[in-house]
Each structure stands twice: as structure tokens, then as C-alpha cells.
A and B are shown apart, each in its own frame.
Chain A
Amino acid sequence: MDKSELDDGARRVFRRNAPVLERTTFCADLQAKLVGRKRLHRPRPRRRLLAWACAALLLVAALSVGIFELATHLPGPATIIMITDQTAAQEPTSSSASTSASTAPAATTTTFPKPLPPSAWPYPDYSPVPEPVPSAQVQALAELVAAHFPSLELQVDTAAEIHYPSNTILLFDLSPRGSGQAFVSATIFKSDQGIPHPQKDQAFEVEIPGAAEAGLIERAKPSGSGYDSFQLLAWMPDGTVVNATSTRTAKSRGAEPPLDQEGLKEMVTYLVGLIAGKEVSLPDISLSTSTTLAWTYLPHEIANACWGIAGNAVSYVAYGKKAQFEALLVPEAQSQADAVYQAERERFQTSGMSADHYSSLYAVVIVQWKNGAYLTDLGYFTQTKPPVPQEIDQWLEEDPIDRAAAGVTMWDKTVRWLRLEVQADESWLLVP
């Protein structure tokens, strides 16, 4: 039997012995099983391909935007540090103030969130900062500088003194007539520590006649700031610091800062010469020894500790965790812990607060009384004095070193002030 005969025989045997299917029953069963089943509609290959292409395109676009944003916000190797006056920077009350305000982000973004070292002058030792006071002497100095660059047609926008408890800063702003978006500014103050380190680290040394040391910070286009600036700091042998900047904002695209590097050097040289030669009469800017600048703002370790305790306390009350809340109280308050917890719980519930609302709590403001002024966490800049209740003020003032207060804005917009006291192990606990 050859292969084909064998295959034919096998085929006949297989067919003969195959079961007979009752098609009607089979189809009826199948139909019953298909009831309620829906076909899975998938897009046709071309449409599917198109959909995948769109998704890939969107992904690439999102990634590109993300990478661009990341690159934009990464600190560059030579991020500019603008030393400007805080008041002028944050309280734009006139056209000149607004131009100064535009320099503020450069000053703050480079220092957040690190605590400022003692030498990082001229950040004030308290918040809010004082108002600038118009000064005829500074106005005369500014006009001399403007006249030194006749081709720029500079006009004086601001000429003021800012009086801090420790010393005084002189400030003036000049802008080319009609530009509006570019300006030259200078601050003059005393420092016994030379050029502040953050700026010194980023500056390259330049020669300014009459100055003990001078540094130029150059950053053509600092990422994220939108400015195009040069900054030059000169420290004179008598401790006077001349801090000058030449800036244009992003809105004045195509324009250059009013003074280039050489122009800025010429301006600082001119100013140093005027001040050293006493050719102008200036207000007293000598340092006061009555105030010690330990920290410029509330140190972060304190702010973070207080923020943590206040936040935990609120969450424990909100979630009804009595034992955890009581553990946050100072030892001397443990005897009345139960009553304190119940009172807080009742107070929070009355305000409409619930555990669901906890995540919606507003920022906690930390204040600590020191040297007659409030300290605020750098993360929570306040331009005006926080509305601290009088009893909290008084309580803080009694022991300014070891006490702090945290204001928690509750669900009903009221602020619950919590008293905090540092313990022997440097931890902070709640005082009822």
C-alpha cells in the first residue's frame, strides 16, 4: 500500500468514525451563550496606527515640555544673585519701585530654602522691612551718576534711605528716558565682612580703583528670571559696599542693559571715587553695634519643627487621635491633657473642620519674637506684620528665645494660634 492509497484509506476511516453533530442543537446552544455578549470593537489597523501615532506624539510633546521645564528651572552654574533692597523689591508703590520689584525673584530664588548665613547682608533681621524714605542727599548722588553718562539720558526714579535697626542702606534707581524696562540701580551700605559670600562665590574679581575688593557677576540670561543683568560689588577699605546692577527685563527684548560691563565698572569707579573723596554729602550709614545679627530670618530647623508640631496637632485633632495629640503637649500640661484635647476638638468641630478638610488647611505661619521684630519662615514671606493676637505677642515677648507661635488657618478662615516652646532636647512642644 503506497502513501497515497494509505492516506485515502485513512481519510475514509477518519470520516466514517467521526461523530455526527446535531447542527441545530449546536447553534441553539451557541446562540444562548452569545446572548448578552458584545463584540469587541477594535479600531481598524490604519485607525489603530493613527491612534498610536497620536498617543506617541502627545507623549513626546509632554516629555519635551517636561524636560524643557526641568532644564529651565535647574539652577545654572552661574546663577545671578541680585542684592537689592527688600522693601523696594516687594512693595511696588511707584513706577520706580516696580522696576526694583522686578529684581526680587533673582534675589530670593537663589537663596531659598537655605537659611541665610550671618554675613548675607543686607537682608533685614525682621519682617516686615521698613519703608524707604526719600533722601535729598541720595537724590543728589544719583543725579551726579546720571550726569556722568549723558548719552544714556538717565533719569532718577528712586533716591531713598532705608533705616534698619542695625544700619542704613542708600538706594537709587536710574532708567534711560522712555525705556521703562531697563534700569541701573545701586545700593550703598556698610559691611564689616567684605562682599557677602554668596555673591563673592559667583563673581569674578575686577579692579576698581579705591576699592579693597570688587567682583563682577555676569549672567547674560539667567534661566527663569527673564532678566539680562550685570552686577558689580565693590568693598571699600572703610567698609562701604557699593552694589550696582544694570538690568533689562524680558519685556525689553532686543535691548541691552543700559550699562555693559565696562559701563558698570565705570559707574562703580565713579561712585567709589565720590564716596572716598567725600565729594558728596551722604547720610550716616555706619553699622550699629546694638543689634547682633544671629539669623536674618527664622532658622529653618526651628520653622520646620514648629510647622511639623502645629500640623501634627491639627491633624491629630481632626482625626480624633487623642493619645498622639497629648504627646505633643509640654510635660507641665500633661495633667490637663484630656481637657485640652477636648477643648481643641470642640473648637475645631465648631469651625466646621473635619478630617476630610485637613488636606485643605492653609499655610501655617510661624513667628518668633526677636529683637523687637517678628521672624517668619522664609517659605512664607509676609509683606505686612502678621495679625498676631495681643496675648500671643505678649507671651512671645516674655521669652523671645524659647517661644514661637504658629498660626493655622482653619476651614472657616479663622486663624488658630498655637503656642510652642522649645524643650531641653531642642524639640518643640505645644503650650496650652
Chain B
Amino acid sequence: MVRLLKEAETQAQKTGGQFAPPESGNGSFESFVDLHCERLVQCLTMIVLDPDLARDAAQEAFIRLYLHWDDVGNLRDPVAWLFKVGINRSKDIRRRAVRSARLLQRLSLAATEKHDPLPWHPETSFLELLRDLPARQRAAAALYYLADFSVSEIAQVMHVSEGSVNRHLFRARERVRKMLEVT
């Protein structure tokens, strides 16, 4: 996590001044978004395997963060809170999307694309690895390897025990080992 924060801070310094949410009384929210938006979208993409859905979920997580900024500021780990909300929102959006798709199918309508799709071209073997992993192992691996969360932080985000996180990580690691050995 510390490494991630340092990386994000560096990136934010490079791209600073781009974001100006309305009625922002102080600059902490903007810098927070700058620090964590990319990693959040990347993690969510790996978890839900849908970059557009991940982007929408990340934005909704930031909106909630903005609305509850006063409370979140008092949390022990606001980053964990953000990722937790992001994962939950992605699940909600997926459920909503499935329902909408069914409805559109019944009405014989085609869904319209609202945004430009987020480019994501992972290696085939990596994509197969992710698809093979169960959702919880995928989430634990993404948070561990990409967001650099500790086991306890992952447990907090996924709302499971640290033992469960270790088991998920162990199994994910074994799959990664096989993939790396093959490649």
C-alpha cells in the first residue's frame, strides 16, 4: 500500500491540476481521486473482467466518497473503504446490467453504448488465468499484486477473515506459477 501511495503521488504530481469537482471546499478530494483512480479502475477491471463496468463502478465509488467525504476522512483506512465500495458497486452494476440486458432482449432492442470503451488488451494467457480463477481468488490476487494491499487490508475490503484471504492467495499463486512456468 505504501508503495502504491508513493507511486500514485508521483503520478498525481505529474498530472496535477486536471480535476476540479464542483463545490470542493478543499483540495484533498481531488488529490485523493488523482492518487487512486487509476489503480482502482485497474483492480476492478481484473476483478470483473470488464473495463467499462470497472470504470463506471470506480466513478460511482468516487461519487459516494465525495458525498460522504466528511465521514470518510475519519476512517482509519479510506483507501480500503474506496476499494470496498468500488467492488460492491461493480457487483450492483453487473446485476443491473444483466437485468437490463434481459429486458432489452425481451423487447428485442439493442443496448446502446454510451461511452468509448476503455482499451484493454491483456495477454491471452493472462486473460485465461483470470477467467479460470474464481471471483474471490481473482479479487484477492488483484488487490494483492496490483493494489499492493496487505492481507489484513484485503480481508477488510472483502469482508472475510485473513485466513480466507491467505487461502485465496495461495490458490491464485499456484495458478500464476503454472502460467509463468508455461510461458
Contacts from A to B (Cβ < 8 Å): 1, 3, 6-7, 9-11, 13-27, 29-31, 33-42, 44-45
Contact of B19 among A7, A14, A27 (CB under 8 A): A27
Contact of A18 among B45, B70, B181 (CB under 8 A): B45
Check A31 against B19 for contact (C-beta < 8 Å).
yes
Please measure, in the bound complex, the distance between the C-alpha atom of A279 and the C-alpha atom of B33, giving whole angstroms. Answer: 107
Q: Mark B57-100, 1 if CB is under 8 A from A, else 0.
A: 01100110011111100100000000000000000000000000
Check B37 against A26 for contact (C-beta < 8 Å).
yes
- Determine the main DSSP class of B at the interface with A: helix
26 A–B contacts from the bound complex (CB under 8 Å): A1-B181, A6-B173, A9-B176, A13-B180, A14-B142, A14-B145, A17-B123, A17-B126, A19-B41, A19-B51, A19-B54, A20-B119, A21-B55, A22-B118, A25-B116, A26-B55, A27-B33, A29-B59, A30-B37, A30-B62, A31-B20, A33-B59, A37-B22, A38-B67, A40-B67, A45-B74
Contacts from B to A (Cβ < 8 Å): 15, 18-23, 33-34, 37-38, 41-42, 45-46, 51, 54-55, 58-59, 62-63, 66-71, 74, 115-116, 118-120, 122-123, 126-127, 141-142, 145-146, 173, 176-177, 179-181
Check A23 against B18 for contact (C-beta < 8 Å).
yes
Check B66 against A37 for contact (C-beta < 8 Å).
yes
Q: Which residues from chain A contact B180 at a C-beta distance below 8 Å? A: 1, 6, 9-10, 13
Q: Which residues from chain B contact A44 at a C-beta distance below 8 Å? A: 70
Given contacts A13-B126, A31-B21, contact A7 B66 (CB under 8 A): no
| Further pairs besides A14-B142, A35-B22: 4, Cβ < 8 Å | A13-B180, A21-B55, A22-B118, A34-B21
Total A-B pairs in contact (CB under 8 Å)? 114
Check A14 against B146 for contact (C-beta < 8 Å).
yes
Check B177 against A6 for contact (C-beta < 8 Å).
yes
Please measure, in the bound complex, the distance between the C-alpha atom of A14 and the C-alpha atom of B55, giving whole angstroms. Answer: 18
Check A34 against B70 for contact (C-beta < 8 Å).
no
Check A23 against B126 for contact (C-beta < 8 Å).
no
Q: B176 — nearest CB in chain A belongs to which residue?
A: A10
Given contacts A7-B145, A13-B176, contact A21 B118 (CB under 8 A): yes
